[in-house]
Structure 1
Amino acid sequence: MTAPQVRKKVCIFGGGAIGGYIAGVLEKKGDCEVSVVARGKNLQAMRERGLTVSTPEGRFTVRPKVTDEPGELGLQDYVFITLKEHQFADALPQFGPLLGPQTAVIPPTTGIPYWFFHQMPGAFKGQQLAQVDPGGRIWSTIHPSRVIGAVFWIGAHLVAPGEVRQDGAKAGCPIGEPDGTRSERVQALSRLLTDAGLNARVRDNIRGDIWVKATNSLCWNPVATLAMARMQDMAATPECIALVQAMMEEADAMATRIGLDIPYPPRKRIETTLSAAEHKMSMLQDLELGRPLEIGAIETSLRAMQQLSGVSTPLIDGVLAIMKTRDLTYTQTAQTGQAGHP
C-alpha cells in the first residue's frame, strides 16, 4: 500500500489583503494545511466569522486556523510573510517557532529585499544591503538560503476586517529560487498555488520580476497617491503616465548598471497596470485609512540601489520628497482632527 501523502503546512504571516487572499484560496482548495497569523480586528473577525474572499468569479468564506501566537502552529513547510515592509523587522522574534530545517520563507518584496544579491551572478554576488537590513538582523534570522522569491500581482483590498476583495485579472504570483534553479520546493509551491487558482509560474529570473514590482511601487504609488486617483483616472491623464514612465526609466538605469536583466520595458509595465481600471494603489488605500505609508521602505531600497549603481534619480527624488510632505501634513491633520485632506 502507498503511504498517505502528508499535506504541506503553509503559514500566512499577516492577514491583510494579500495574505487574506492567499490564505483564502489555499484553504478553499484544501490541498494544504493553512494557518494565518493576524492581530486586532482582523484576527477577531476571522475567529468569529471566518475569512471571506470576493473575486470576479464569486464569493466564498473559509475558516483557516487563525492565531496571534505563532508558537501554537508548529514547524511549517512554507511561510508567506505578507506584512508591510516596515512591520517585517519588528516581527522577527516571532518567526522562530515556525522555522524548521527545511522551511522555505517567502518574504515581502515591496522594495528591494534584503536577500536580493544572494546567489546573483556577477560583481555584486552576496552583497548585503545595510540600508535595507541594518546590522544584518533579517539575514541572520531568515537566511537567504531559506528564501523563495515571489511577486504578488493580486489587486486585493481589505474591505472590512476578515473580508478581502480581489479585482481585475487572474491573480499572479511568479516565484523563483535566488539561484534560478527549479528545485523541488519551488516546484511544489508552484503546484499548490496554481491548483488554488493563482498564476504561479516558476521563474529563472525572479529578481527581474521583483525589480518590475519594486519600481512599479516606487513610481506608481506616490504619483497615484498624490493624484488621489484610481488607474482609470490616471489613464485619462497622459501627463501623469509620462511622469510614471520617466521615473521608471530612471530606475531601470540603476538596474542596468548593476547587471540586472529586466524582463519588460516600462511601456509594457504601464499598460499592464492600467488594465486594472478600478484598482487603487496600496499607498493610496493606506493614506485613506490613516495607516502608516511605506515611503520609508521604498526610499530605503532606492538609496541602496543609488549607492551601488552610482546612478542618480532626480525625478524620483523630487516626487518622493513631495509625497513625504503629503504624508506628514496628512498625519498632522488626522492627529488634530482638522479638515482639509480627504
Structure 2
Amino acid sequence: MSRPLRTCIFGGGAVGSLVAARLQSAGKAPTVIARGSRLEQLERQGITFADPACAPIPVTALDAQTAAMEGGWDVVFLALKAQAIAASLEEIRPLIGPATRIVPLVNGVPWWYFQPETARAVRSVDPAGALVDAFDPARIIGAVVYVGCSLDSVSGDLTSNGRERLVLGSIADAHAQTETLLAALFEGCAIAIQPIREIRREVWSKVALNLASNPLSVVANATVGEQFTSPHLARITIPMLEECIALARALGVEPSLTLEEMVAIGRRMGAYYTSMAQDYARGAELEMGAIAHSALELAAEEGVAMDTTRTVADICGFLSERELARA
C-alpha cells in the first residue's frame, strides 16, 4: 500500500480553505499555511461555514516557517492571488522538495504560460520574472479553478455556491500521467477533478470568463448572472469574450469552450458576485494584473485589438484607485 500524499495548501483564503475542507472531509489530512489572524482562526475554530447545517472542519494550520521545517511535501497548492505569489516567494521556496508537485490555483494568464518552451514572462503577474526562475516547469500542474466561494473577513465563515471543479494538467508534458497522482489525492473528495492534457485551452476559457465578468462586476455593481442576462450588460460582456477568444487564437490556442458555452455558463452563475466585486466592496486591492492586465499585455504584443476590454478595465482601475485613496 502506498503512503498517503503529504499535501499543503499555501493560503487560507476562500479557495484555499475550500480545497482544504474538501480534502480533510475525504480523510486526506492537508495542512493549511496561513498568517496572522487567519492562522489563529484556523487553529481555534477550524474551517467554519456560513451555512449553519455545515459543521466546522478541524484542519492542521501552520505558519510557513514551521511547515518548511516539517518538509517532505508531495503536493503544494498555491492558493494565493497572483500578485501575492511573488511577494511570498521566500516563504514558498523552502516548501518545495526535489519531487514536490506545485499546483498554482490562480486566476488570469498564469506566469508559467509560455514555459517550458521559452522563459518569456507575463510581466503583469511576474514583473521581474522571479516566478519563471523559481519553479521547475516539469513539476508544475496547471490548474483552472471553477468554484464560487467567499470568506467572511471577520467571522472566517466560508460560503460556497456548490459549483466546485478543478481542471488540472501538466504544463510541460502533454502526456504526463498527472491523472494517477491527482486521482489518488482527490479520491472521495467533493470537488470534481478533471485531468486534461491541453491545459492551455482550458486556461483561455477561464481567462475569457474572468475577464468578461470581473472588472464589469465592479463598474456595474452587477452579479455574474446579471452581466450575461441583462441586454444592457450583455452588449459589453459578449464583445469582451469575443476579444479574448481572438487573443487566444492569435497565440495558437482554441479555447475549450465556444462563445455560446461561455455565455451559458455566465447565465447559470445567477446572483453571485465575482471575487473582484467582493474585494472592491471591502476596500481591498483588486486582482487587475492577473485578470485584466495580463491579457491586455499579450494583446498589445500580438497586435490584437481589445478596445471594449481596455475601456472596462480602465474604468474599473479608476474606481479602485479612488476607493483605495479614500481609505
Describe the SS at the equivalent of 1:6: coil
Query: Are 1:165 and 2:162 counterparts?
Result: no
Query: Are 1:282 and 2:281 counterparts?
Result: no
Query: Are 1:19 and 2:16 counterparts?
Result: yes
Aligned to 1:89: 86
- Structure 2 stretches lacking a partner, 5+ long: none
Conserved in 2, the CA contact under 8 Å of 1:232 and 1:278?
yes
Where does 1:1-342 land on structure 2 (aligned, <5 Å)? 4-30=1-27, 32-53=28-49, 59-69=54-64, 70-119=67-116, 125-131=117-123, 132-159=125-152, 160-169=154-163, 171-179=164-172, 181-333=174-326, 335=327
* Root-mean-square deviation over aligned CA pairs: 2.1
Conserved in 1, the CA contact under 8 Å of 2:170 and 2:176?
yes
Instruction: Tell me how far apart the structure 2 counterparts of residues 237 and 99 of structure 1 sit (CA, whole Å).
Output: 46
Instruction: Tell me how far apart the structure 2 counterparts of residues 220 and 278 of structure 1 sit (CA, whole Å).
Output: 13
Taking structure 1 as reference, are residues 232 and 260 closer, same or farther at Cα in structure 2, changes over 3 Å only? closer
Instruction: Tell me how far apart the structure 1 counterparts of residues 128 and 268 of structure 2 sit (CA, whole Å).
Output: 41
Taking structure 1 as reference, are residues 53 and 24 closer, same or farther at Cα in structure 2, changes over 3 Å only? farther
Taking structure 1 as reference, are residues 180 and 240 closer, same or farther at Cα in structure 2, changes over 3 Å only? farther
Conserved in 1, the CA contact under 8 Å of 2:228 and 2:237?
no
Describe the SS at the equivalent of 1:248: helix
Deviations 1:286-322 (A, max 9, x none): 0111111111333431233124422121111111111
- Per-residue deviation, 1:40: 2.5
Conserved in 1, the CA contact under 8 Å of 2:26 and 2:187?
no
Q: Percent identity?
A: 27
- Per-residue deviation, 1:245: 0.9
Taking structure 1 as reference, are residues 185 and 54 closer, same or farther at Cα in structure 2, changes over 3 Å only? farther
Count of residues in Structure 1 that have an aligned counterpart in Structure 2:
323
Q: TM-score, normalised by structure 1?
A: 0.88
Instruction: Tell me how far apart the structure 1 counterparts of residues 217 and 140 of structure 2 sit (CA, whole Å).
Output: 31
Q: Could you tell me which amino acid in structure 2 is paired with residue 165 of structure 1?
A: T
